[in-house]
A and B are shown apart, each in its own frame.
Chain A
Amino acid sequence: MKSLAERAAAHRPPLAKAVVWSAWPIVAALGIAYLIQIALAPALSDFHGKLLVDIGIAIILGVSLNFVNGYAGQFSLGHAGFMAIGGYTAAALVFYGGLKLFGVPEEGGISGLHGGFLGPGELLLLAGCLVGGLVAALAGWVVGLPSLRLRGDYLAIVTLGFGEIVRVLLQQTDDVVTDPAKIEAAGPLELADHLGGGFGFSFTPDYVDPKNPFWVWLFVVVVLLAAYRLKMSSKGRALLAVRENEIAAEAMGIPTTRVKVNAFVVSAFFAGIGGALYAHELGNSLRPADLGFQKSIDLVIIVVLGGMGSISGVVVAAAGLTILPELFREFAEYRMIVYALALILMMILRPNGLFGIREIWELDVWKRLFHRRAR
């Protein structure tokens, strides 16, 4: 029987085709995000617009957690910690960096925006998102490398502890520097210590608002693309295999610890981006207390209910769990109780979540409806 290397040589597609195949979703992402920006957003009320943005951020965070809790079948309870790291990194970069580079904007005072759509301020936001993601990814590597060797429940505790440590450390930071002259004079390391402490980083410019959801939805498409491409690949299948039966996966040559760590790092990266976008949303304040254990649990609920491993499931759950609290505003006290009962009943009755490991288009119900043979 021919070996893999031999066959691969035979299957190699021409470069041009591969480039098109690879790049078209990115172009489509830009197109979709732009369309949402100019066509959809203006048509929505402020309330619905904010909802749209919130759904987008929830999707980014949920899908990012899906890499670890879903694909790899590990249990991370500190996801909000990566969100916080990304958010604060971006906030510091955008706020302090913006004032240093561009001075005080014409309108809005120190929290004003630098330029409009795709202006210098927004490009700085893009940079903030990416840097925030990278720093969060680094944190993910530092946390994941030692702890993913441990058994499942231990990882839950370590990540929980990590999330709390991040929260406590952020609460120790000094007040945000608001005097433009001082900001100009100070060095980056010095400013890094001034992140608002317990009060939070309250002066972040609001680049993300109901009328400007472009960046959120651009990243939503990027995350979904990454999640999909990973899941349908050998690396993704290796992750799922680790989740299904770690011992067998190891016996088939998969370096299980390394694979888990990689998933953790990628997950942290996107959580950082989600956090960065969250930090700059109109109406949100970036506070350590909001990004603690409770937030991590909220994200876990999204992944568990959506079906750990199912991208579409998590998208549906993220959207649903963002919309539902708004619909049931009066019953706010019962919200968590309902979620809690949902979790408990889910685990007893339908432990695989809404769609399990499968995508919404892979469900048996379609096969029955269309009499299609199993793929």
Chain B
Amino acid sequence: MYLLTCKDFLSELNEYLDESADPELRAQLEQHVNDCPNCWVVVDTTKRTLQIFKNLEPQDIPERVHRRLTEALQRKIAAGPPSAASR
């Protein structure tokens, strides 16, 4: 089996993280990450980076912004129903 270099591994990192590699490539990537402590750390810290972003709750929007949006919507709604309702 062709042995991947670290550079090869990194260029396929998305496929590895997103589990989108075909089985043969997947096996090569697995083998590399098991044998290479540096790439293992890169994988681990990248996974944690993505996770921490996914877990982040968006902040409440400022009350003024929420009110402005609500008022604009109320005006729009008062002007008529969405297109589906009139079909």
The answer to whether A and B interact is no
